[in-house]
Structure 1
């Protein structure tokens, strides 16, 4: 639904509480008390049908029709069967937003509430009001003094936004966070999400300047494709952490089955968060531990950890956890070790971990920590302290705080105990130094930091340009398959092989025949020895055999050498099929040249789909043990070379390949090409409901497909929009220069760097509003690896150089788009800027965006003249010292859109 009218929830000037009451335990009474206690500065309109003159000291109304003003937000706390009628009445008054805190409507298994639920669905569709809930906790915005919830504890103001699906879980989290003095900018839960969805809230809250960190709690993934896009957009601006409950399919409360081809859907959830740049944690308390660590770090941290402890036992606890989580123990440099030997007694080793005496003194801790943090081979430090006689916890904490204030590296602390270390922990909290009850928790949080940094680095890696041998035949095949097959059909084996061949996959020689007589007659067309496959209906679908590997081999006979061997082998297989699959008729036979896997290196890959998330790719071990090993790693298309490599490296198959391959890098490159080709297949054929491919390695760099099954389904879009090839076009300038204009790609980072470095200082100032010459990798990666759903950038290429780029950032509802454009200084007279702007305007018009706008420095005459020629309105903003330009592209369809338009 987007962020339409959500400002009514977050910036209401008038709130109506329907069902407000004086009665103890009343839901509406709790909401009204919280609004008053929170210091809400707008007007509150309590509504109760019993006709009270006032409720909790506020003038009350008995009917909605008595209200003198239309409330911006209505909070419904009445019984479930009254909610649909109230929503209709609110709509007739012109109310645009309502929160339904009433419980019961979401209890789908309870027959007495089902009529209310069904009527609610219809009313939401009829009124197009924005509805948050039912069964939601409410909404809190502490810095705006809004506590429109029935939460039992107050909430400290801060810079963390909490968005959750479960109101009861949020209630417990807020209670726990209040005691730890953790502050929030927003707290909101969705309940059943009748209308407002999790992606809607993420899109809206991510744009709020008060928010630095977003915590997202999910019980289940709904609106999966929209969720991926909103999380990707949010993580580019904020630190986003997520906790996903209901991880295991065995749970009786998990109502969503794993998609075909995966043992656990949670693998796919992990991939969603990783591709979106979101840090996933396993528990709600870990959310806040990670906020402490990640939110307070002062610069990019690295993976090399040093440990200082005043006891061997606590150090072992930290080390065990670090090694268990595959962390990296820093190797102290020679200079650092020499410095430590000057500080420490002879009997203490100057190695990591540094084990100090239990009777630790502040002076020694300060000296040792300073030396370790000065080591360039150390990225972060954990200090584990155990209180003892002769050592003061508070004094040691204060000494470490002074050291930490002088470094930009991350410092973590674990002061063990409770009573003796309470003051020390309070000092760390005041100094914003992360402190943990145990070394185990400290290491877990540290490893979350490492994983988050690795994820961010992966997303920013500049991918190599990788060519795959795709024939033009795939488009013809696509039309042919769609004409001849319907959703729910399987692709016959010979058709599935044709599809693979069109994308450059090397397949074993084979023939398919519907009758055994024809197969025997034509057997000479395939070189022997042979593999015979008998295809029964269930076998022809991908993922047909679940977790039973024995069933997988019962339709195959190997090492056949004579035509006379075929009929007895086929009869034997058919007998087994009739016994095991009595309802699955035999439909045909495949005869294939026998290929042996080198060192038994067999693997599988393919395409699956999740109803909420869309298509996904998988890769892992193959053969009869594939399902036992559960070696199936997943990724979302589209894939580039970097992402394909990471997918392969995560698999157990790759570990075996490294052990047995004579040239692992060459093998890896071949597999990367195959997976990138598979990604193209998933994008080009959205009707592919499933594709399972088994392959073998024959020799270094050479692989061959030996089995395939494919299923046709309804069209399903990918969660991440692919590269839009339809926007590519040529441009011939008035001077005859030929440019190729296309969307920007991640591989363009070197070209963009070269382009910026070749611009004059004045051109850069006019574009970026400041004088700058340096563009680091992180910034260039952000500018080239864009989300085509929320951003578009077109570049003009001539040869191996980039000469211009135009970029637009589009809001989540396609209302307005902000632009920027810059052209090489030597392209004056080429009309390249005019062409790029015209192309991006045409793109936005076709997409349905209502307005394009931008800000221009007053001295940027060429840009202002170009804007005038293109039809932009202009207005000087003297306060900001810029000229605002805007142009309407499409006609508004709804009144709410006017509030989003850039006013010129």
Structure 2
């Protein structure tokens, strides 16, 4: 329906003079008006009830900063989602929708591309057009209003025609929405992201070691990894990875066999593989013999680490068959170099024919340009990944390996924390409140140690002394040798000003140390205020490692955790790994494993491995501290002495700030476990149960729970016969993000051996707009009549009501009369009947 006051018809279609004159409300408005008329046009669209608009005028790229604010008001008032300004529009080839200003046509395909940059969109489109790449969606988002990466990933994640999602990103606005959507979609299909700005300048105002080391791009890396996404560095790599992941069958291993018609290509590919931390397939003597029989002399450069088989291209099919049957390689890379003796096109046809019979996992690389064009086309037509260089082929293979690793990580059951710590939160709250009232920005070290101990983290005994005389007395009480440190609100890094003296053996040495420190501090800064001295026991750990653990605030993702090699030179060494809270045992162990010092922590020569569980638990508790107290803006625990005997926090500093906003934990990119929702309930028979949100660690108990449910109740829940749920499905049920999903379980000690068993579960999935929460509930069959189902359902209803959800819905088999009667008594209405035997019930919250 064209709208124009200047033309009676556009493209042969009669126009309407203005928006109010439209006979019905459009689903989508494509706005091509001049900037001067934009506000009036958008207001009229809002009044008409239009919920979606794309600003495609080239002039909108030059609009001033006030217009986006106006668009935000439109979104709030009318609920309108707006793509642009600075957008080139959206294309959905499968729907024949082209609402864009792109310079080339876009063919259909299975890959979705979403870009924040118009110029990048044009570049990628040009590249894709030349390489025959098609798309399910091609979206240029520009500056959106009421729409972000999270919304688009949500949509594409559930789109059956999209096999892979490619993102070009410059920044994100809503980190919680992005992480929630990405973690959900990445379980179903690969997401590859190209992020610009790798080398942005770190904020120089940061004062802690952690803040100085946690560069923003490292935080993006950590976020992508946590969400199960793959990060790439070029357009070619972006599409190479997407092509591989969208057409290659999933496989579990990571061993690659390399076959080529030239030794040089083998060596180049093997070099790239090993540089990328890839793994070469090792062939058995039997496989070697079979290959010898085909080739005459199997040109294997190493029998222990297979780096390549050289053979004629006409032998590729037979070699393929031998390697496939041996099951010693998870994937095979075929490399071909054009030559006068072989026909590149015919070689490709023969390999394709064999692949149709064997259906193994293969990648191809016909190197060159003119001679191999037809071969590449043949591979593309038969959904076989084809690359133009060994490096790109190896990169694509490593994408598969990394993707499979991410999938495993997303589904992995974390170990339980070795010791259940019940933090003294009230004590910590009092420390922070008093410090804020006193105008403190950095907590005193004695207070930071109290906070660590409140969370079960072992620390060195530290006491405060006002002067040299008191320092001598305290040192005698603690016992020599001791350490003396400066306590000053004006000194953050004590060692920078000579504010730390170690290994003091007597009172006289303590007195001299106090005087020397005072002189050095005043020489450094005459205005520096010395409020006292910290005296602590000197700890000798000859076989320990000095580590740093800390937290700082990223402007996008909020609190981020850091771990690496500690000490005074920690910034120079720059050994750090970054993670987003909250942590569990698996995530804490992964954080440690990504540091350079990790190899030393495993033990070497006469140094035994550290107590890794103790260090993981300390990192988890540090994560909990930053979640529980948003006033703590950044902290360092440096050094942590890690050894076979545990983890000891020697020094710590924390910066605090008064919090004024209403929902401080929205700063977290990933919602933490909501412990406040835990509740005790007593069954009719007097048995006490704990109702709480589900945890990933609950999977084993959930499997046991399913064995106590009758086949009839299973059918009522799943609308069919289910013997057992595979690990992948159980992981989806127990590993939720507590944001758009929620599941409450009821647990109680087993009456025979005391282990915690699951008695019932209720769960909801809420749409991204928070309009509808669909529930499902299941209670152990031997506990019917105990009011547990009623309690679980009521708890979930109250929870969804507190989130502002509009409707609470479910589907019930008509023959499940008990459930139907219960929900009707609770005020539900039966709105629709699906296929006659399924009743849809709805409760307005």
Give the structure-2-normalised TM-score. 0.91
Which residue of 1 is the match for residue 29 of structure 2?
74
Say if 2:42 is the partner of 1:87: yes
Which residue of 1 is the match for residue 778 of structure 2?
822
CA contact (8 A) 1:306 1:353 kept: yes
In 2, distance between residues paired with 1:82 and 1:570? 73
CA contact (8 A) 1:380 1:410 kept: yes
With over 3 angstroms needed to count, the CA separation of the structure-2 counterparts of 1:673 and 1:762, relative to structure 1, is same
CA drift at 1:701:
2.2
User: Please, which moves more after superposition, 452-461 or 200-209?
Assistant: 200-209
For each residue in 1:827-870, what CA deviation from the matched residue of structure 2 results, as whole angstroms up to 9, or x when unmatched? 33333333322222222222222212222333334333333333
CA drift at 1:885:
2.2
CA drift at 1:583:
5.9
SS at match of 1:99: strand
In 2, distance between residues paired with 1:584 and 1:229? 46
Say if 2:462 is the partner of 1:505: no
Which residue of 2 is the match for residue 96 of structure 1?
51
Say if 2:723 is the partner of 1:773: yes
CA contact (8 A) 2:431 2:447 kept: no
* Equivalent residue for 2:545, pick from 587, 595, 601: 601
Say if 2:448 is the partner of 1:496: yes
CA contact (8 A) 1:106 1:192 kept: no
Say if 2:610 is the partner of 1:654: no
In 2, distance between residues paired with 1:397 and 1:658? 48
Say if 2:307 is the partner of 1:356: no
CA drift at 1:251:
10
- Which residues in structure 2 correspond to 1:54-73 (within 5 Å)? 54-60=9-15, 63-64=18-19, 67-73=22-28
Which residue of 2 is the match for residue 341 of structure 1?
292
Which residue of 2 is the match for residue 147 of structure 1?
98
Which residue of 1 is the match for residue 123 of structure 2?
172
* Equivalent residue for 1:473, pick from 413, 424, 427: 424
Which residue of 2 is the match for residue 621 of structure 1?
565
In 2, distance between residues paired with 1:871 and 1:236? 36
CA drift at 1:663:
8.0
SS at match of 1:624: coil
CA drift at 1:169:
0.5
- Which residues in structure 2 correspond to 1:432-451 (within 5 Å)? 432-451=383-402
CA contact (8 A) 1:225 1:719 kept: yes
RMSD of aligned Cα (Å): 2.9
In 1, distance between residues paired with 2:824 and 2:607? 60
In 1, distance between residues paired with 2:103 and 2:317? 44
Say if 2:1 is the partner of 1:47: no
Which residue of 1 is the match for residue 338 of structure 2?
387
CA contact (8 A) 2:744 2:763 kept: yes
CA drift at 1:379:
0.9
CA drift at 1:793:
1.5
CA contact (8 A) 2:466 2:532 kept: yes
With over 3 angstroms needed to count, the CA separation of the structure-2 counterparts of 1:196 and 1:471, relative to structure 1, is closer
For each residue in 1:317-364, what CA deviation from the matched residue of structure 2 results, as whole angstroms up to 9, or x when unmatched? 10000100111111123432332233231363495334224xx242x2
- Which residues in structure 2 correspond to 1:146-225 (within 5 Å)? 146-225=97-176
Say if 2:524 is the partner of 1:573: no
With over 3 angstroms needed to count, the CA separation of the structure-2 counterparts of 1:124 and 1:817, relative to structure 1, is closer
For each residue in 1:583-606, what CA deviation from the matched residue of structure 2 results, as whole angstroms up to 9, or x when unmatched? 644343212222234346211102
In 2, distance between residues paired with 1:177 and 1:859? 54
SS at match of 1:598: coil
SS at match of 1:634: strand
CA drift at 1:774:
3.5
Say if 2:579 is the partner of 1:640: no
CA drift at 1:441:
0.4
Which residue of 1 is the match for residue 713 of structure 2?
763
In 2, distance between residues paired with 1:763 and 1:115? 58
In 2, distance between residues paired with 1:135 and 1:867? 49
CA contact (8 A) 2:708 2:782 kept: no
In 2, distance between residues paired with 1:135 and 1:840? 42
With over 3 angstroms needed to count, the CA separation of the structure-2 counterparts of 1:738 and 1:594, relative to structure 1, is closer
CA drift at 1:746:
1.0
Which residue of 1 is the match for residue 674 of structure 2?
724
- Which residues in structure 2 correspond to 1:118-157 (within 5 Å)? 129-157=80-108
CA drift at 1:194:
4.1
Say if 2:487 is the partner of 1:535: yes
In 2, distance between residues paired with 1:123 and 1:889? 27
Say if 2:652 is the partner of 1:708: yes
Which residue of 2 is the match for residue 6 of structure 1?
none
SS at match of 1:490: coil
In 2, distance between residues paired with 1:510 and 1:744? 39
CA contact (8 A) 2:260 2:313 kept: no
Which residue of 1 is the match for residue 534 of structure 2?
590
CA drift at 1:126:
6.0
For each residue in 1:500-554, what CA deviation from the matched residue of structure 2 results, as whole angstroms up to 9, or x when unmatched? 11111221122123445543453323322222212333434xxx69xxxxx6473
Say if 2:797 is the partner of 1:841: yes
For each residue in 1:225-284, what CA deviation from the matched residue of structure 2 results, as whole angstroms up to 9, or x when unmatched? 3221221222233332211111112599xxxx9982425212111111111121222222
SS at match of 1:372: helix
Say if 2:180 is the partner of 1:229: yes
In 1, distance between residues paired with 2:689 and 2:112? 46
User: Please, which moves more after superposition, 234-243 or 656-665?
Assistant: 656-665
In 2, distance between residues paired with 1:639 and 1:213? 28
Gaps of 5+ in 2: none
Equivalent pairs counted in the alignment come to 825
SS at match of 2:680: strand
SS at match of 1:238: coil
In 2, distance between residues paired with 1:251 and 1:839? 46
* Equivalent residue for 1:807, pick from 741, 749, 763: 763
* Equivalent residue for 1:786, pick from 719, 725, 736: 736
In 2, distance between residues paired with 1:454 and 1:661? 31
CA contact (8 A) 1:259 1:609 kept: no
- Which residues in structure 2 correspond to 1:671-686 (within 5 Å)? 671-686=615-630
In 1, distance between residues paired with 2:321 and 2:198? 43
SS at match of 2:386: coil
In 2, distance between residues paired with 1:355 and 1:226? 48
Which residue of 1 is the match for residue 243 of structure 2?
292
* Equivalent residue for 2:692, pick from 742, 749, 759: 742
CA contact (8 A) 1:198 1:227 kept: yes
* Equivalent residue for 2:275, pick from 318, 321, 324: 324
In 1, distance between residues paired with 2:401 and 2:54? 39
Give the structure-1-normalised TM-score. 0.85
In 2, distance between residues paired with 1:186 and 1:166? 16
With over 3 angstroms needed to count, the CA separation of the structure-2 counterparts of 1:581 and 1:409, relative to structure 1, is farther
For each residue in 1:656-703, what CA deviation from the matched residue of structure 2 results, as whole angstroms up to 9, or x when unmatched? 222448686651111111111112212221221011001343752233
In 2, distance between residues paired with 1:868 and 1:790? 26
CA contact (8 A) 1:173 1:284 kept: yes
Gaps of 5+ in 1: 1-43, 546-550, 891-904
With over 3 angstroms needed to count, the CA separation of the structure-2 counterparts of 1:354 and 1:602, relative to structure 1, is closer
In 2, distance between residues paired with 1:389 and 1:427? 20
User: Please, which moves more after superposition, 567-576 or 307-316?
Assistant: 567-576
